[in-house]
Structure 1
Amino acid sequence: MSVYRPKTTVEQWRILQAVVDFGGYAHAAEQLNKSQSSLNHAVAKLQQVLGVQLLEVRGRKAYLTDIGEVMLRRSRQLTQTITELEQLADNLHFGWEPEVRLAIEMVCNRAPMLPVFADFNRESRGSRLVIDDTVLTGTLEQIIEQSADVVITHNLPKGVLGEPFGEFRMELVCHPQHELATLPQPIKQADLLNHLQVVIRDTASKPAETSGWLKAEQRWTVSHFDEALRLVKSGLGFCWLPTYMTEQSIARGELARLIIDGSSHRSGLLYLVLPKGEKTGPCAKLLANKLLEMKPQVVSNVVELGQA
């Protein structure tokens, strides 16, 4: 297979951009500290190898042709990519990570984080962000094995410190016409035994059922809250879901809130953890600091979780 060899150079495209941006060859030559004749030659050569006219000179000013406008727009993407690539190499040379992995407990409401992610993107210097959804011992696994750079969890492993990040809250829900919704509230735990429970699969490589009410005779396991919500709305079963996911559905009459005798809801704290401690890279620290500075703090919710 033949290898394509570019006919043009990045420098030629940068000269074309300068001629357009500074209104002509003379001003561009001053800004680039080059001779006007060298710029003329570079643009002429560019047009020659491409076989199209990019600029036309009227009076003392150069104007883009229709073809030139299209090519100029694409060339700006090229030179911007080259600039970012060179900047990334410089950043990596000084220890800036090429990739940051953020593990977020699936109970956490992501909506308040979106402005932080946008801000981080502007300052990340080209580093990629990978966001992992984790559940229960899957989150602990990310911390213990240090497979993530930043972790948001509702459960801290022994000996691990975390910075308080927000609150969580969950509630038991079912379809308004489900049999459980017709019972006098609060209901007994025994009332749940013969009904289908929807749970979220633990994301750990070796999951352990250490929390959550998992005594239902029938249990369906799904991988994400969205699927659990769809099943519950269809009337198939009951599930513990985050209040940020259920409030509007309850208000619209699409879900019914169940109160269990001795447990009206569940709540607690979320923590932000840096599993690698002092080895945490500067880009990961940037993300962690921006998340902790977020105002107001994230208010999240914990769901009843389990494994297949």
Structure 2
Amino acid sequence: MYRPKTTLEQWRILQAVVDCGGYAHAAAKLNKSQSSLNHAVAKLQNQLDVQLLEVRGRKAYLTEAGEVMLRRSRHLTQNVQELEVLAESINQDWEPQITLAVDLAYPKPLLYPVLKDFYPDSRGSRLRILDTVITGTEEAITQGWADIVLTGMVPKGYLGEPIAEMQFIAVCHPEHPLAKMPSPVDPNELMHHLQLVIKDTSQTPNEKQGWLKSELRWTVSQFDTAIELMLQGLGFCWLPEHKVCDKINQEKLVKLDIKGSSFRKMVMWMVHPRPDGLGPGSQLLSDCILAHRQIKHTIKSTEEQPCK
């Protein structure tokens, strides 16, 4: 019978050292001494007879072999976590707390009737509803810290149920120079104007989505902040149509017709990061979400007014 040379704790320490960029920060995150982490990684390398890390300056970097081993180790620790969550789910009748991660782009008015239906049968479960953006939403799935995730992108290896469809449009103030240019606006013109960007909620953001070529960008944490700035004549921004439809109808903002990209359509999905460990409360909430899905219709503004 095969006996492993290494432990899960060693692999978790290696992952923390890499994710935190060094032993000092990893030690603070894990509440362990730096020397114990050094010893654990050194022992791991000796047991495997493979160099996984090399230290340059104050930072630890993965070797090529380390990159391969680390990637496989993440699957291992994730599988163990899912197995333990499954056991916990089997042993309890109803989860005491449910975490719902909602991408900031998802229209909150669609969520309110869901929660109204869920509440009478929630059996006192504490519900955490957390706003996430871009990589932060993806991490809620891949790191498994949420029970249900409403997202605009399903990561590789996961399944999702489509629940809504929406559009992102570029907007600015009517007096902004971009609004006065002949339509369609040349995308190269955008590079010379202030772009407002919504902050990624991940601790390690990865800006890999959307147009981000402007030489000057301001980052804000909420759509409403971007809208308020544009109402003052500052910048342009891509936003969900339902968030700015009323401002467009009131002629306080205008929709930009950009050559090659008049709008971007996004399908919103419901994803279960740990489907095998889904408790009865989370299942009930999922059923309520599906009962109110709006995938057959493009989401309009909360006032149900079409944008001009």
TM range (shorter): 0.5 to 0.7
Alignment equivalent of 1:173, drawn from 171, 174, 188: 171
Name the structure 2 match of 1:221: 219
Name the structure 2 match of 1:124: 122
SS in 2 for 1:262: coil
Question: Which consecutive residues of structure 2, in runs of 5 or more, have no partner in the other structure?
Answer: 1-89, 301-308
Alignment equivalent of 1:269, drawn from 267, 270, 293: 267
Partners of 2:226 and 2:175 in 1: CA distance: 17
* Residue 295 (structure 1) shift: 5.4
Question: Alpha-carbon deviations, 1:118-161, whole Å to 9, x = none?
Answer: 12111101111111111111111000011000001111111100
Partners of 1:192 and 1:296 in 2: CA distance: 33
Partners of 2:176 and 2:168 in 1: CA distance: 19
Partners of 1:242 and 1:293 in 2: CA distance: 23
Partners of 1:300 and 1:105 in 2: CA distance: 15
Partners of 1:170 and 1:94 in 2: CA distance: 42
CA gap of 1:300–1:147, structure 2 versus 1, over 3 A, is: farther
Question: Alpha-carbon deviations, 1:81-125, whole Å to 9, x = none?
Answer: xxxxxxxxxxx9842111111001111101022111112111101
Partners of 1:126 and 1:193 in 2: CA distance: 51
Relative to the length of structure 1, the TM-score reads 0.66
Name the structure 2 match of 1:45: none
Contact 1:242–1:300 (Cα < 8 Å) also in 2: no
Partners of 2:197 and 2:119 in 1: CA distance: 34
Name the structure 2 match of 1:86: none
Name the structure 1 match of 2:187: 189
After TM superposition, list the pairs within 5 Å mapping 1:179-258 onto structure 2. Answer: 179-258=177-256
Partners of 2:261 and 2:294 in 1: CA distance: 28
* Residue 164 (structure 1) shift: 1.0
Name the structure 1 match of 2:303: none
Contact 2:168–2:266 (Cα < 8 Å) also in 1: no
Question: Alpha-carbon deviations, 1:276-307, whole Å to 9, x = none?
Answer: 11101110111011000115458559xxxxxx
Q: Which has the larger radius of gyration?
A: 1
Contact 1:164–1:272 (Cα < 8 Å) also in 2: yes
* Residue 268 (structure 1) shift: 2.8
Contact 2:163–2:293 (Cα < 8 Å) also in 1: no
Partners of 1:295 and 1:244 in 2: CA distance: 16
State the superposition RMSD in angstroms: 1.9
Relative to the length of structure 2, the TM-score reads 0.66
Q: Which amino acid aligns with 2:225?
A: E
CA gap of 1:244–1:112, structure 2 versus 1, over 3 A, is: same
* Residue 217 (structure 1) shift: 1.2
Partners of 1:296 and 1:134 in 2: CA distance: 21
> Quick one: percent identity of the two aligned structures?
44
After TM superposition, list the pairs within 5 Å mapping 1:150-165 onto structure 2. Answer: 150-165=148-163
